[in-house]
Amino acid sequence: MKLKLPPNVIFHHDLRLMVYRDRGILKQKQVKRIVDFLDKEEARTPKPFNRFTDMSKLDAIDLDFSFVFQIALHRRITYSKRKGPPIKSAFYVTSPGAAQVVRIHAFVTDHSPIHVRMFTELGKAAKWLGVSEETLEIDITSA
């Protein structure tokens, strides 16, 4: 079955890596779409996959603390039910607002099978995920 990807997402099947790179203003609607995709894909496939979220192309973030906390808690509970191996979720951030959102997510998912790290350098994120920097730089709009 062909995987139906949400906008601004590439899935590298060979690397078991989902890359999400949104542009413009990040709103609850986009986050809910990605979380729904993660929930469905995790339920569909027995093989875990890592994630890379590039927040460097965002102009603004329109998310409040309670929404970010709620989503992170949902992800923690949902993934913990899988009883599978841990996954890595890397966030590339270039703004204080993005960093604040990622810190909340990392705090809520701490000591769970979702290992979250925030990066300000793309190369370090690639190294942590075990992929090439070029893999993380692929332009989603042309893929």
**pLDDT tens digits, 49-80:** 999 999 999 999 999 999 999 999 999 999 88
What pLDDT does 141 receive?
53
Domains of the chain plus CATH, in order, are 9-142 (3.30.750)
Residue with token string 């790290």: 117
What pLDDT does 140 receive?
63
Q: How many CB atoms lie within 10 A of CB 65?
A: 10
Residues of the chain with pLDDT under 50: 142-143
Cα–Cα dist 139/8, whole Å: 9
What pLDDT does 142 receive?
46
Give the E-state strand segments of the chain in sequence order.
9-12, 17-21, 24-27, 50-54, 58-62, 87-92, 114-119
Q: Which residues pair with 23 in a beta bridge?
A: none
Is 65 within 8 Å of 104 (Cβ atoms)? yes
